Chains A and B, each alone.
Chain A
Amino acid sequence: MRRAFLAITGLAASTTALVVLKGSPGATPVAQNVPTAQPVNPTPLGVDPSADPAAGPPTPSVAPTAPTSPKPGKTTTRPSGTKTTTKAPSAPRTTTKAPQSTNRRVTGNGFENEYGYVQVQIVVSGNRIVEAVALSLPSGGESDIHSGDVRNRYDGSGGEVVQKQNANLNTVSGATETSNSYKQSLRSAIEQAF
Chain B
Amino acid sequence: MRATLTRPGLCRVEQIMGTAITLDLADDLPPATLRELADEVFAWMHEVDARFSTYQPDSEVCRFDRGEVLLSEASADLRFVLETCADLWGATDGFFDAYATGRLDPSGFVKGWAAQVASDRLVAAGAVNHCVNAGGDVRVRGLSPSGEPWRIGIRHPWDAMAACLVLTGTDLAVATSGVYERGRHVLDPRRGTPASGLRSVTVVGTDLGVADAYATAALAMGTPGLGWLARLDDHTHAAITDNARQHHSVDLPLTD
Contact = CB atoms under 8 A, between A and B. Distances in A.
Interface residues of B, number: 65
Contact of B246 (A45, A55, A131, A187): A45
Contact of B152 (A161, A171, A175, A191): A171
B247 A46 contact: yes
B24 A160 contact: no
Contact of B151 (A59, A160, A161, A168): A168
B245 A162 contact: yes
Chain A interface size, as a band, is 35 or more
B157 interface: yes
B123 interface: no
Interface string A152-194: 0100000011111111111111111110100100010011001
A191 B246 CA distance: 37
Interface stretch (B27-35, B76-84, B92-100, B159-167): B159-167
B156 A162 contact: yes
Contacts of B133: 171-173
Contact of A171 (B150, B160, B243, B248): B150
Contact of B20 (A61, A63, A164, A176): A176
Given A150-B159, A165-B153, A165-B163, A173 B247 contact: no
Given A167-B153, A173-B154, A146 B246 contact: no
Main secondary structure of the interface of B (DSSP, over half): strand
A173 B156 contact: no
Nearest to B162: A164
A153 B151 contact: no
B154 A167 contact: no
A131 B161 CA distance: 8
A166 B152 CA distance: 12
Which of A131, A133, A194 is packed against the most chain B CB atoms within 10 Å?
A: A194
Interface of B: 1, 3-7, 13, 15, 18-20, 22, 24, 131, 133, 135-138, 140, 144, 150-167, 174-183, 200, 202, 223, 226, 230, 240-241, 243-250, 255
